[in-house]
Chain A
């Protein structure tokens, strides 16, 4: 039994999410091969070869794979994946984009965003935005799975010495092309990958007051999120929304400021390791899930917190 892990990378570097995916593969058990499909992705392949527990790295180098277009990458993964018991990828925007296309090509169901491995064919995954946990079993010959990074500790990035093997397969399907990208220039980390998240709610009163949270976040190296109430009120754009219809985060530390703690918001952050709530209403439901609660006016508490950390 061998497992194929589809690497998440930027050609020049391997993304941290790949390490969590390899950790999930180790829990399943078996030889672990990592596929690096990209263009001039030598550096990413070398990084993959060093991950502890990886026995082989397959490199598919082709200009058509440069931007991870699913129309080009999925046929390659499906073709290579036929010989494996499992195909795994991180549940990142790339993994979610490519893997279901692979599963359908192999005519099997996919299991999305597993948070634990029960056995080689049984996995746990959250449904209803984390309000229920389903245990699912796959009878597919090739099990196609995406892995929620926050569910698994990262595998060691050093210590392995896997062989690197080039594979010549696939090419441009001619259906799609990359036009451009606009990556956020913020020094703050991306919301779903951040170790610390500071979020504001309706209690922030207006968009301008979010500057207090940005200052705190910059000090902590944190990402800034928001509740649906803050987004609906127009304080911040909705890509900052944490919750059932927004982003699901599980950082080490989540600081909820002026957020009451409605069900929809809790669904997006209640798997955080440590939750801090700052709210002046001591009856706010957020205090029921907070590890540390501070009943205080956020306009005094947040600047003070920023000074002290």
Chain B
């Protein structure tokens, strides 16, 4: 079966982001960018499905600027077969992204779509679920285990109190949680081979999708700084402060 994986180019998780002085957003000039960590897990899961003989082809797609080709090449080096860039310089909200992915799905007809549970920049945790609504497919969010069995996929999900398993009719959408797997590193020969794998570029207009949004960002601020604390000399003093001053125990 064909598996479609959506990946996002985001600021590297090790970078301490800074808010721009004019409060229009976060300063991303000259900042290291990487594949969103949850998307790496999604690519890894697709590659493992292929290694098990479950998946026959892995198509990886991203939506973003031309530079996002780097993240597609990374996914290709990890084992994806071909890739699609939906090129746009606009910052899109999750709904617009889901609509664009729906258009790609209509063309590609994958049996399984894997996304990360959330991107570490916008922290929305929406795209996979929205894609579920637009396609009418079942969704297995926050997956820590994925097993394809016949025309169904069993997904074990991380929920607040533990784990839940659901059976979804294929085609279905899965979003990855941290526990699903440990992504591999791309080897140098595979990075070289990835340069020869197909990478198609399309535009939102060509897909016939409107990216209009009902939400706009008015400003972005730095979070309130914490006031300086004190150092205590002993455990007894700590307990006394927690009981009588902070009143938290």
Binding site for B on A (CB under 8 A): 67, 69-71, 74, 92-94, 96-105, 107-113, 122, 126-140, 174-184, 190, 192-193, 196, 220, 237-239, 241, 244-246, 252-253, 263-264, 270, 273-276, 282, 287-296, 301, 304-305, 308-309
Residues of chain B within 8 A of A113, CB atoms compared: 123
CA distance A139 to B215 in the complex (A): 6
User: Among residues 85 to 138 in chain B, which have CB atoms less than 8 Å away from a CB atom of chain A?
Assistant: 93-95, 98, 120-134, 136-138
Binding site for A on B (CB under 8 A): 11, 13-14, 16-17, 19, 26, 37-38, 93-95, 98, 120-134, 136-139, 141-142, 154, 157-169, 172, 178-179, 213-223, 226, 228-232, 234-236, 238-239, 241-242, 246, 248-249
Residues of chain B within 8 A of A67, CB atoms compared: 164, 166
CA distance A103 to B98 in the complex (A): 12
Given contacts A183-B161, A289-B226, A296-B235, contact A104 B130 (CB under 8 A): yes
Given contacts A108-B95, A112-B126, contact A128 B214 (CB under 8 A): no
CA distance A103 to B128 in the complex (A): 12
- Which chain A residue has the least Cβ–Cβ distance from B124? A112
**What distance in Å separates the Cβ of A11 from its nearest Cβ neighbour in chain B?**
14
CA distance A263 to B214 in the complex (A): 32
A287 and B133 within 8 A (CB): no
B235 and A301 within 8 A (CB): yes
A128 and B217 within 8 A (CB): no
Residues of chain A within 8 A of B213, CB atoms compared: 109
Residues of chain B within 8 A of A181, CB atoms compared: 159, 162-165
**What distance in Å separates the Cβ of A226 from its nearest Cβ neighbour in chain B?**
12
B217 and A136 within 8 A (CB): yes
Given contacts A134-B220, A253-B246, A292-B241, contact A111 B230 (CB under 8 A): no
